[in-house]
Every structure is written in structure tokens, then in C-alpha cells.
């Protein structure tokens, strides 16, 4: 395997230290962890099967990180910017926070690299359960095109994230229901267990 391919490999199921769990929809503040009692962890295999990729990177090096550079090159991420989500830093904070937490999909991957602070991405599995993915500083996460998901800050109310994209960015969320959207159909074909083709 070439160096760039090795460097750009997502964290493996075995090496993963990402924390994810099934979301207890108990009506409390969305920024709380919403863990069941006892907790119901979601395995790295489960996230892999849903098409979620992630890497643990060093945010102090984000301006000259060979691993980030390899990921960017390998996956064609030609665009990047930085977004800070906090009541003080983001104009239209309340509307944006509300829209991030509406269940939606995108017509492209959603790629975020958490440089400071933390938050939660929730992804829907095929049993209609939410899986909450904890994203502390240093997490780079890729949600595949067409996956239903949402985002919330945690109680610290602060995240600074790099957004990456292939080509000209399109941030527009497509709210659920979007089952007939081509991106959703493609996602279902690729990842739903009864339709996905498994490569052995």
C-alpha cells in the first residue's frame, strides 16, 4: 500500500476509540448525552456498516498535518473552511442550531474535523434508532451522502470545526422525508443490509 493510502486509512474497527451509543429519546435537553441506563453502546462495526468514517487527528497540527493532507488528497477534498458554533460566534445561532438538529441528509458527504470544543452527530440506523456519536476535539468524521443525521452542541455550547468538501460546497440540508431523493436511494442501495452488496 502506498504511503498516502496508509496515512489516509480511516481508524479501524479494532483501533477505534470513538464513543457512540443508542440515543434515549427522553425529552430532555438535546445537548445532554441521552444515554440509556444502562448505556447501550453502538459498536465501531455498526458505524462502519452505516458508512460512517472517522480518524483521530492532532488539531494542534492542522495547518501542516501529513495525515490530514493524505486524507484530503486521497478523498479529493479540495475545499475547506472553519466554522465556529457558539451563541457568541455564529450569527443566527438559534435558527442554525435548530436547523442542524432537524433530521436531514445531504447530496454529498458531510466532513467535519473538530479543532476545538465538542458536539454530537446523531445518525439513523436502518431500525430507525438514533446513534449518538460523541465528537471531541481531534475527531474527523465523514457522514456518507444520503444518511439521515443531525447535529447538536453539548452543554459547553462551543465547537470550532473544519468543513471539507469536494469542489464547490453545498451546505443545504434536505429534511426528512426524503426517501425518494436520489442520494437517499443510493445510500439505501449501498448500505441497507438487505440491498447492500457485501465484498468479502
Ligand X SMILES: CSCCC(=O)/C(O)=C/O
Residue 45 marked as a ligand binder: no
Distance CA 111, CA 20 (A): 18
Residue 149 marked as a ligand binder: yes
Q: H-helix or E-strand containing 130?
A: strand 130-135
Can you tell me whether residue 141 is helix, strand or coil? strand
Total chain residues near Fe ion (CB under 5 A):
1
Window 72 to 131, contacts with Fe ion (CB under 5 A) = 110
Residue 110 marked as a ligand binder: yes
Distance CA 152, CA 23 (A): 13
Q: Measured from the CB atom, is 66 or 167 closer to ligand X?
A: 167
Q: Is 131 in the site for ligand X (CB under 6 A)?
A: no
Distance CA 194, CA 174 (A): 25
Window 62 to 91, contacts with ligand X (CB under 6 A) = 83, 85
Q: Is 109 in the site for ligand X (CB under 6 A)?
A: no
Q: Is 140 in the site for ligand X (CB under 6 A)?
A: no
CB of 189 to ligand X, least distance (A): 22
Residue 94 marked as a ligand binder: no
Cell of 175: 429534511
Distance CA 185, CA 174 (A): 14
Selected binder of ligand X within 23, 54, 100, 187 (CB under 6 A): 100
Distance CA 174, CA 148 (A): 9
Choose among 170, 185, 166: nearest CA to 106. Answer: 170
Contacts with Fe ion, residue ranges (CB under 5 A)? 110
Contacts with ligand X, residue ranges (CB under 6 A)? 83, 85, 100, 110, 112, 119, 151, 159, 161
- Annotated binding-site residue numbers: 104, 106, 110, 149
- Annotated binding-site residue numbers for Ni(2+): 104, 106, 110, 149
Amino acid at each position: 500500500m502506498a504511503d498516502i493510502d496508509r496515512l489516509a486509512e480511516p481508524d479501524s474497527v479494532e483501533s477505534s476509540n470513538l464513543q457512540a451509543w443508542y440515543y434515549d429519546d427522553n425529552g430532555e435537553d438535546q445537548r445532554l448525552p441521552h444515554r440509556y441506563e444502562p448505556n447501550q453502546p453502538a459498536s465501531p462495526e455498526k458505524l462502519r456498516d452505516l458508512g460512517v468514517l472517522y480518524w483521530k487527528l492532532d488539531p494542534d497540527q492542522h495547518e501542516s498535518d501529513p495525515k490530514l493532507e493524505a486524507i484530503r488528497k486521497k478523498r479529493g477534498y479540495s475545499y475547506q473552511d472553519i466554522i465556529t458554533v457558539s451563541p457568541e460566534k455564529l450569527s443566527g445561532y438559534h435558527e442554525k442550531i435548530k436547523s442542524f438538529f432537524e433530521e436531514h441528509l445531504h447530496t454529498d458527504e458531510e466532513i467535519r474535523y473538530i479543532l476545538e470544543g465538542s458536539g454530537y452527530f446523531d445518525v439513523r440506523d436502518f431500525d430507525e434508532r438514533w446513534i449518538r456519536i460523541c465528537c471531541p476535539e481531534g475527531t474527523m468524521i465523514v457522514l456518507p451522502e444520503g444518511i439521515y443525521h443531525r447535529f447538536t452542541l453539548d452543554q459547553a455550547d462551543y465547537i470550532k470545526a473544519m468543513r471539507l468538501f469536494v469542489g464547490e460546497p453545498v451546505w443545504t440540508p434536505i429534511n426528512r422525508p426524503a426517501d425518494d431523493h436520489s442520494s437517499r436511494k443510493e445510500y439505501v442501495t449501498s448500505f441497507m443490509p438487505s440491498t447492500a452488496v457485501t465484498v468479502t
